[in-house]
Structure 1
């Protein structure tokens, strides 16, 4: 389900409840066997690493909060993390390359929204100051990559990398940006959530870049 489809609170609650039902159909041991998460059987909590931050996913209370300060993530981040657990399957082998949204099954259906809310956002913020991407990426655990004028690889989850690339523009060349995924993500998350993941990352990078200017 895409972010646009989750705008209403009632719809969000339906999705939220369904994902928890799917998670609880599995045993915690089954999930930890195929995901890079831990589970504390005493507290009945998963610990999920999401963009360089540890989050507690509480089995009994069905809530998610950041371990360091108790912060509750927004709707999009919550749904992404629940999908990550609910869709837990063995990690497939993948080619050592990156793929675009257009190469993900169903990706073209969501491409217009992805372009508007991820690509254009990244281009606007970093397209004429690509170096700012590296600064904004630090708190999200990003590592420099050798693409474009500036590029960073992030780990949304330990086994789910994304790559953001920016090409600077000038008077003759239009600025551009993209978000690429490891091919294995096609088996790890639903297409709509893959799109939301890129949109979420773009939004976080924009927020961090703007905060550093204030």
Structure 2
């Protein structure tokens, strides 16, 4: 929890000291009518970021979980402005991804395998709630826009008598230009939570 608070405090500080006009140009966020908030899509839901305090809330005014708030702030500050490339890379291909790869499998990919391995139609239905659209990888796959310029894809291979079901989360090749590898690890874990919950 301490690390989460530290990352969140740093993200708030960076946001408060950032150039809002530049953020609008690069991230896909836009101003609210009163210019008191930036509005950004995150997993198919509009989130509001106070330009004064950096507080992140939902459209109904509820506070969001610390991990989500931190990711939203980090993305709008760090996003390069470059569009997605339409080419998918694994977590291992991210900078220093090898150091977080096993935890990424355990915390992000394996729970998807267990939850949806024999029910790909359930994965497709759940992903629709997050803005997901079917893709053509593996036995079942879906592209999910985490942020306006940062899509992920969940790929599922159904099991058989010899092999259990397997899932993976891939990132658009632009991902390292939009978030750090550590933040992308959290982004994948949050995707899994949202698909399963």
Q: What TM-score, normalized by structure 1, do the two folds share?
A: 0.86
| Secondary structure of 1:174's aligned partner | coil
Per the TM alignment, residue 150 of structure 1 is displaced from its structure 2 partner at its CA by 1.3
Distance in 1, Cα, partners of 2:35 & 2:29:
15
CA contact (8 A) 2:16 2:54 kept: no
* 2:79 is the counterpart of 1:88: yes
Taking structure 1 as reference, are residues 90 and 120 closer, same or farther at Cα in structure 2, changes over 3 Å only? same
Residue 123 (structure 1) aligns with: 113
Q: Of 41, 49, 66, which residue of structure 1 is paired with 2:58?
A: 66
Q: Of 59, 69, 80, which residue of structure 2 is paired with 1:78?
A: 69
Taking structure 1 as reference, are residues 32 and 142 closer, same or farther at Cα in structure 2, changes over 3 Å only? same
CA contact (8 A) 1:128 1:170 kept: no
Deviates more, 1:103-112 or 1:169-178: 169-178
* 2:168 is the counterpart of 1:168: no
CA contact (8 A) 2:84 2:172 kept: no
In the alignment, structure 1 segments of 5+ residues that lack a partner are 1-6, 208-214
Distance in 2, Cα, partners of 1:80 & 1:184:
16
Distance in 2, Cα, partners of 1:71 & 1:168:
38
Distance in 2, Cα, partners of 1:135 & 1:21:
38
Distance in 1, Cα, partners of 2:30 & 2:83:
20
Q: Of 29, 41, 51, which residue of structure 2 is paired with 1:37?
A: 29
Q: What TM-score, normalized by structure 2, do the two folds share?
A: 0.93
* 2:110 is the counterpart of 1:111: no
Taking structure 1 as reference, are residues 88 and 41 closer, same or farther at Cα in structure 2, changes over 3 Å only? farther
Per the TM alignment, residue 107 of structure 1 is displaced from its structure 2 partner at its CA by 0.9
Per the TM alignment, residue 22 of structure 1 is displaced from its structure 2 partner at its CA by 1.2
Runs of 4+ in structure 1 off by over 3 angstroms are 40-43
Q: Of 177, 182, 189, which residue of structure 2 is paired with 1:199?
A: 189
Distance in 1, Cα, partners of 2:83 & 2:129:
29
Residue 15 (structure 2) aligns with: 23
In the alignment, structure 2 segments of 5+ residues that lack a partner are none
